[in-house]
Amino acid sequence: MRDVADIFAETVAVKTRVLNDADLLETARAVGERLIAGYRTGARVFMCGNGGSAADAQHFAAELTGHFIFDRPPLGAEALHGNSSHVTAVANDYDYDTVFARALQASARPGDTLVAISTSGNSANILRAASVAKELGVTVVALTGASGGKLAEFADYLINVPSSDTGRIQESHIVFIHAISEHVEYAIFAAK
């Protein structure tokens, strides 16, 4: 049995490693700036992930299309698994590895951004989406665990949480999602 206090200590330790990694924090700032620049030119942001990472993708899209800190106009963002009819039709007619890539082919344009979330960095459907994104001229932001996995090869921006524990990685991903959302929201709307 795992002690709750040990789990909290582990999550604090991972977040402390993130806080002390200047390069990782600079990458997160750069992602925020990329999204800001894209939004100022009419670009959109797409997100994808599986399981808990799908929930994180949907959470990120909601922070941008709704609001995070204060009331403001919505920003264009879409979690690619949100259309269950698309996901099930493509998985049935083609294969599951194609579901996010096909959605990007339908909607993404050069200048858009894909946020690809995979704790291992090796999910086949996420890799296929990242590959298609590169073909389309879409910037790829990868949120992964320590190694970055194969997804690192496609990433324009790699946020690789310094852990191999799925729970600790996902906890840190949500902090990055919140930090980037707040950065974007303040930069675009606070001065108005």
Which residue from 64, 57, 97, 112 is spatially nearest to 80, judged by alpha carbons? Answer: 57
Q: Considering Cα of 173, then 74, then 23, then 155, what sign does the dihedral take?
A: positive
Q: Token pair of 35, please?
A: 């999204």
CATH classification number, 4-190, choose in 3.90.380.10, 3.40.50.10490, 3.40.50.300, 3.40.50.80? 3.40.50.10490
Report the distance separating Cα 109 and Cα 151, nearest Å: 20
| Residue showing tokens 């999602």 | 177
**pLDDT confidence of residue 170:** 97
Report the distance separating Cα 150 and Cα 120, nearest Å: 9
**pLDDT confidence of residue 191:** 64
pLDDT in tens, 79-112: 999 999 999 999 999 999 999 999 999 999 999 9
Confidence band, pLDDT 50/70/90 cuts, at residue 177: very high
